[in-house]
Chain A
Amino acid sequence: MNAEVRQIRTVAEQGLLDSYLASKAKLPGAGDVMALREAAFKVFEQQGLPHRRIEEWKYTDLRAVMRDSKPLALPPDAKAKSRAKDAGQWLAAVGARRIVFVDGVFAPDLSDLSALEKGLTIGSLADALAKADPHVLKILGRASPAKDDPAVTLNTAFMGDGAVIRVADSAVIDKPLHLAFVTSGDKAVSIFARSLVMIGKGAKATLIESHEGPAGIEYQVNHALELSVGDEAQFDHIKIAHEGDKAIHVGTLIADIGAKARIGDFTFTTGGAVVRNQIFMRLGGQETNANISGASLLRARQHADNTLVIDHAVPHCTSRETFKSVVDDEARSVFQGKIIVRPDAQKTDGKMATHALLLSEGAEADAKPELEIFADDVVCGHGATAGALDEDLLFYLKARGIPPKEAEALLIQAFIGAAVETIANEALREALMSEAERWLAARG
């Protein structure tokens, strides 16, 4: 009776299959790398694209959303690079070291690689794969708590280029690093990029990851970032999904955190037609403190999904998860957060909250906070709210002469601001609030 039910492949699934077979020989790396790709692709072949009957993807049915697969992007030519030269420059005020990836490919000529701080190395994943760099192969996809995640397996099969960044033990990198991913062209392409970031023991760094691309083009981006943070390190990661309005973006952060570390993670989503931001974080050392937040500003028929799994594997760690979304028109915001507390992880302190501000009748917010607690001496909680702007506050502002749209904008900024405030870097906070202001101004 247990006959395997195999679904007929969708156009997109068949397209990915054809694309993989046609291009795998040209993808960087041989030997072990190829074995990794093949194993990952086999998983994909069996499970297909994730769909709504898979619990983790119930709100974001990628099988339905991806009507087809797009051809893999070609390596960028001079024209593409010229179009991409301003990637991420809207964050210029932050003064970060910009490292540009055009159509998923490292562009050293567009990047600021001068006078690298002591202890900082920046490289290309494609180079590392081609050279079979043993350090990279040792960690790539191996310890991943998300090995079977459909987005990650697809990424592993197709990964082209990306960043390989190392911050040595005790190195303090004051200047934020900014990985600026840009889709340059006017063609619907698919891009699979993979980055590895290793933060040494006691090191300190800030990493910004921004994704942008043209409006009106149905391109598809799948990026995965594998992060390891050593004991006593301080690391901030800010991801900005600023994709074009027709783009599908699936991004995954897979993080393994050591002891006594301080982690700040922020996901900011304003762009894209369908965006899925995934975080799989394992707190594997004691007395670590992780603050994981995000804010989404959505309009038209945008769909943005923040899904996270925070795994408290050891005792005495603290995590805070706070995600806010502002949803206008017929847009939809999804939050799925899970805190796992392993049997050994006594004295865990975890609090998760998600708040959605619905600005129109057609806006939708889905929230699914979950706690899986196997230890008995913990403090964990979660909360979720969704609602409209407070009429009493609006009236107060209007009674002071502030026009309705401006009054709404003030309250929306305040709502988002409370999340953005958790970002340590002040210039970055200001840049994101300016972006929120632009979003509000465009509301008309």
Chain B
Amino acid sequence: MSLLQIKNLHVEIDGKKILNGLDLTIEKGTVHAIMGPNGSGKSTLAYVLAGKADYEVTEGDVLLDGRSILDMAPDERAAKGLFLAFQYPVEIPGVATMTFLRTAVNAQRKKRGEGEYSTPDFLKKVREAAAKLEIDPDMLKRSVNVGFSGGEKKRAEILQMTMFEPRLAVLDETDSGLDIDALKVVSEGVNRLRSPERAFLVITHYQRLLDHIVPDVVHVMSRGRIVKTGGKELALELEARGYAQYAEAAE
């Protein structure tokens, strides 16, 4: 059974159509990239998968392990193994990163019927993951994302992903705002998590991220639909020729 199946997905926000019959199937163990011009609906897809309110699904379905997730609340989806790395991670003053991580990890484990981590186990796991992502341990004591640089925020997202061990990770423009060194650290963080049981959906505007996180499948999105699918070489072609040729295809 496919890990994720998106069937003929139509989505509106405030009466405006954003996704127009999007189809996408992702198998376990694969990395898919979605590329497309601004406004093509990439971030909407990410939000709809995570369950953000305000987006209305008017037609179609999204199945995780063959079961529709559209009626599930965002926290239930997370517990089922869906993770979204936000393009713009929010700042949460007054909530310490460590407290947040532990609350989230344990909430997910509890919902899956797994035991909560013991404090030493949890701390060990966080510290190891943070070290690999070159995250200063002091950052974990600070409020979630408050005062973090753009690069620190993205690394913090990957740290969360490492802790949650999701089955499907959606990375929404994770490369935006990263310099080349940070891009490498973040990509390595993602690559470490690649496994036969886990899949990734990497949403990006630029090809450069895909030099580091090499995808199995590349999709081009335009006007709310997938208009072309190919191998990793498709990304290079897009980089060379731009998105203009696909603008028509979605009509």
Contact of A396 among B92, B107, B111, B164 (CB under 8 A): B92
Give the residue of B84, B93, B160 whose beta carbon is less than 8 angstroms from that of A414.
B93
A56-85 CB mask vs B (1 if < 8 Å, else 0) is 000000000000000000000000000000
Give the number of residues in B that approach A within 8 Å (Cβ atoms): 29
Closest CB-CB distance, A137 to chain B, in whole Å? Answer: 47
B74 and A398 contacting across the interface, CB-CB below 8 Å: yes
Complex Cα–Cα for A403 and B74 (A): 8
Q: How far apart are A326's CB and chain B's nearest CB, in angstroms?
A: 13
B residues in contact with A411, CB < 8 Å: 92, 95
Contacts of A400 in B (CB 8 A): 75, 78, 100, 104, 107-108, 160, 164
Please, which residues of chain A bring their CB within 8 A of the CB of B105? 401
In the bound complex, residues from chain A placing their C-beta under 8 Å from that of B75 are 398-404, 407
Decide if B103 touches A414 in the complex (CB within 8 Å). Answer: no
Complexed CA–CA distance, A403 and B107 (Å): 7
Name the residue among B92, B105, B111, B143 with the largest chain A CB count within 10 angstroms.
Answer: B92
Q: Are A399 and B84 in contact (CB under 8 A)?
A: yes
Whether A109 sits at the interface, judged by CB under 8 Å, is no
Q: For window 76-106 of chain B, which residues contact chain A by CB distance below 8 Å?
A: 77-79, 84, 86, 89-90, 92-95, 99-100, 103-105
The number of inter-chain residue pairs (CB within 8 angstroms) is: 75
In whole Å, how far is B113's beta carbon from the nearest beta carbon of chain A? 14
Residues of B within 8 A of A396 (CB): 86, 89-90, 92
CB of A399 within 8 A of CB of B50, answer yes
Q: Is B52 an interface position by the 8 A CB rule?
A: yes
Do residues B111 and A401 form an inter-chain contact, with CB atoms below 8 A?
Answer: yes
Partner of B100, one of A392, A399, A404, A410: A410
Are the C-beta atoms of B107 and A402 separated by less than 8 Å? Answer: yes
**How many Å lie between the Cα of A47 and that of B107 in the bound state?**
57
A280 interfacial by beta-carbon distance below 8 Å = no
**Interface residue count on the A side (C-beta < 8 Å):** 22
Q: Is B53 in contact with A395, judged by CB distance below 8 angstroms?
A: yes
Asked whether B90 lies within 8 Å of A401 as measured between CB atoms, the reply is: no
Q: Is the CB of A401 within 8 A of B78?
A: yes
Chain B contact residues: helix, strand, loop or mixed = helix
> A414 near B95 (CB under 8 angstroms)?
yes
B94 near A401 (CB under 8 angstroms)?
no
Q: Assuming the A-B contacts A401-B111, A418-B93, are A410 and B103 also in contact, with contact meaning beta carbons closer than 8 angstroms in the complex? A: yes
Taking the complex as formed, is B41 at the interface, i.e. its CB lies under 8 A from any CB of chain A?
no
List B contacts of A397 (CB < 8 A): 92, 100, 104
Most buried by B among A393, A401, A413: A401
Q: Which of B86, B90, B108 has the most CB of A within 10 A?
A: B90
Q: A399-B84, A401-B104, A406-B107 are in contact. Are A413 and B51 (CB under 8 A)?
A: no
Q: Is A150 engaged at the interface, CB distance under 8 Å to the other chain?
A: no
Instruction: Give the residue of A403, A406, A417 whose beta carbon is less than 8 angstroms from that of B94.
Output: A417
**Is A391 in the interface zone, CB < 8 Å from B?**
yes
Query: Could you tell me if A413 and B94 are in contact, using CB atoms closer than 8 angstroms?
Result: yes
> Does B73 make an interface contact (CB < 8 A)?
yes
- In contact, A395 and B160 (Cβ under 8 angstroms): no
CB of A439 within 8 A of chain B? no
A411 to B144: give the CA distance in the assembly, Å: 11
Name the distance in Å between A40's Cβ and chain B's nearest Cβ.
44
Closest to A412 in B: B94
Please indicate the chain A residues that have their CB under 8 angstroms from the CB of B78 in the complex: 398-401
B213 to chain A, nearest CB (A): 21
Q: Which residue of A lies closest to B166 (CB)?
A: A401
For the complex formed, measure the closest distance between the CB of B73 and the CB atoms of chain A, giving whole angstroms. 7
Closest A residue by C-beta to B160: A400
> Nearest residue in B to A410 (C-beta to C-beta)?
B95
Complex Cα gap A9–B10 (Å):
68
Complex Cα–Cα for A303 and B79 (A): 39
In the bound complex, CA of A227 to CA of B208 (Å): 67
* Nearest CB in chain A to that of B90: its residue: A396
Instruction: Kindly provide the distance from the CB of B84 to the nearest chain A CB, expressed in whole angstroms.
Output: 6
| Interface of chain B residues 30 through 88 with chain A (CB within 8 A) | 50-53, 73-75, 77-79, 84, 86
A401 touches B164 (CB 8 A): yes
What CA separation (Å) do A418 and B111 show in the bound complex?
30
Please report which residues of chain A, range 234-276, place their CB below 8 angstroms from some CB of chain B when the two chains form the complex: none
Q: Which residues of A contact B104 (CB under 8 A)?
A: 397, 400-402
Question: Which residues from 123 to 177 on chain B have a C-beta closer than 8 Å to any C-beta of chain A?
Answer: 143, 160, 164
A-chain residues with CB within 8 Å of residue B90 when the two chains form the complex: 392-393, 396
Q: Do B94 and A415 have beta carbons less than 8 Å apart?
A: yes
**A417 and B94 alpha carbons, distance in the complex (Å):** 7
Most buried by A among B50, B79, B95, B111: B95
> How far, in whole Å, are A404 and B90 apart by their CA atoms in the complex?
17
A246 to B144, CA, bound (A): 39
Interface string of A363-395 (1 = CB under 8 A from B): 000000000000000000000000000011101
Residue numbers of B with Cβ under 8 A of A are 50-53, 73-75, 77-79, 84, 86, 89-90, 92-95, 99-100, 103-105, 107-108, 111, 143, 160, 164
A-B interface, 3 closest residue pairs, ranked by CB to CB distance from nearest: A414-B94, A401-B78, A401-B108
Known: A407-B75, A414-B92. 4 other contacts (CB 8 A): A396-B92, A398-B78, A400-B75, A414-B93
9 A-B pairs within 8 Å (CB atoms) are namely A395-B50, A396-B92, A398-B51, A398-B75, A400-B107, A401-B75, A401-B78, A410-B103, A414-B94
